[in-house]
Amino acid sequence: MHVDVASVEGRVRRLLEERLRPAVRRDAVACAVGAFVVDGEPVVPAVGIGADYQPIAPGTPWGRPWGTTWLRVAGRVPPAWSGRRVELVVDLGFGPQSPGFQAEGLVFDESGVPVTGIAPRNDTVPLELLGAGAGDDVLVYVEAASNPAVMGAGDSFAPTRAGDRATAGTDPLYRLGRIELCTVDEELDGLCLDVEVLVGLAAQLEAHDPRQAALWRALDQMADAVDLDDVPGSARAARAELAEVLASPAHASAHRVTAVGHAHIDSAWLWPVRETVRKCARTFANVLSLAERHPELVFACSQAQQYAGVRDGYPELFERVRARVRTGQWVPVGGTWVEPDGNLCGSEALARQLVLGRRFFADELGVE
């Protein structure tokens, strides 16, 4: 059977972006949001949480380059949402640029314990992480970092004034988006994930591979099964069209690949060292929240210096890392203090990296 790949791919991608994803989040209620703008360098969580907050509305500009704004988010889950999956959506005003070079946030519960990270591709807080449900009040604090896009034009490494707080200016970089509690259609959310996986797989296969044709054919049939007048109601039937290709293994001689999570974080590249620590805290909190919900997750993490920064700045978070190391879900790797350049440094420098790194992993994490 002939498959017009370009047409099917275009159709499926439009369906995903224009119809499926927008319908995943169903009912919504706005939250009350207050803001506390930090004057200068970041403050410890106790100061941020205990600060005076001023009301801020969606659409309000916020965040000078390399600045910090704390948000106090309060809402109530409607009792009628009982039995439904509920998330807190926090849109800091994310843009289309690289997710590593713009607004990010770390969510704390009302007692000051880090819950999860907020970023362009992860803008929700599942209420199960807060132990909240239908009829409950929700209160969280978000330490929002207004980091600028420091890469030059075309992702070049050209110098940019945005890389230094002294030259980056003071105008707000972002405009606050929606912050609200919403219900999630789990069947439709699953359909979106199914489509993303199969589109990504099809894109990696050779044009002459029969499996690629089978994937695009199934995706085309999935699109036929979506009722544009009732997208949520047709999600189950659409997923059924993809079930067979999702369950089909590769050919018998194909490699078996096991994926292990990792987040490569430069310790001091195009952002301040203090921002490296905050990026690590956001990443660690995010992975820990995933590990809690998905016991099959395995995450590999290197660079003892970054562990040390989280230990000193976010001790509760570090204790949770230690616990996941013991269960095997969190795997310290690398053995060096930072990830060093293996080409330019001398043997003495490499030896010191390994001695310091391995000693930290042994003393702090119990890993040889």
pLDDT of residue 160: 79
Q: 335's torsion region: left (phi>0), alpha (psi -120 to 50) or beta?
A: left
pLDDT of residue 147: 92
Cα gap 76→135, rounded to integer Å: 7
Cα gap 171→242, rounded to integer Å: 48
For 6-15, write each residue's pLDDT tens digit.
999 999 999 9
Say whether pLDDT at 197 is over 60. yes
Helix (H, G, I), strand (E, B) or coil at 232: helix
pLDDT of residue 99: 79
Cα gap 144→154, rounded to integer Å: 26
Torsion of CA 267, 271, 276, 281, to 10 degrees: -150
Q: What is the mean pLDDT of residues 118-139?
A: 94
Which of the four pLDDT bands, split at 50, 70 and 90, describes residue 164? confident
Q: Strand pairing partners for 124?
A: 89
pLDDT of residue 152: 53
Domains of the chain: 5-21+186-247 (no CATH), 31-184 (2.60.120), 273-365 (1.10.1240.90)
Which of the four pLDDT bands, split at 50, 70 and 90, describes residue 270? confident
Q: What is the mean pLDDT of residues 244-252?
A: 90
Residue that wins the pLDDT comparison between 84 and 252: 84
Task: Count how many Cα atoms sit within 13 Å of the Cα of residue 179 in the half-sphere of its side chain.
Answer: 29
Helix (H, G, I), strand (E, B) or coil at 37: strand
Q: What is the mean pLDDT of residues 321-341?
A: 93
Residues with Cβ within 8 Å of residue 354, at least 6 apart in sequence: 335, 336
Cα gap 153→209, rounded to integer Å: 38
Helices and strands (DSSP H and E) totals, the chain: 11, 14
Give percent of the chain with pLDDT exceeding 90: 80
Say whether pLDDT at 1 is over 60. no
Residue that wins the pLDDT comparison between 81 and 3: 81
Residue that wins the pLDDT comparison between 197 and 269: 197
For 86-121, write each residue's pLDDT tens digit.
999 999 999 877 777 889 999 999 999 999 999 998
- Asked if residue 174 lies in contact with residue 63, where contact means CB atoms within 8 angstroms, the answer is yes
pLDDT of residue 44: 94
Cα gap 147→155, rounded to integer Å: 16
Which of the four pLDDT bands, split at 50, 70 and 90, describes residue 165? confident
Q: What is the mean pLDDT of residues 31-51?
A: 96
Neighbours of 23 (CB within 10 A): 18
Q: What is the mean pLDDT of residues 139-146?
A: 97
Which of the four pLDDT bands, split at 50, 70 and 90, describes residue 156? low
Residues with Cβ within 8 Å of residue 75, at least 6 apart in sequence: 29, 30, 31, 32, 88, 137, 138, 180, 181
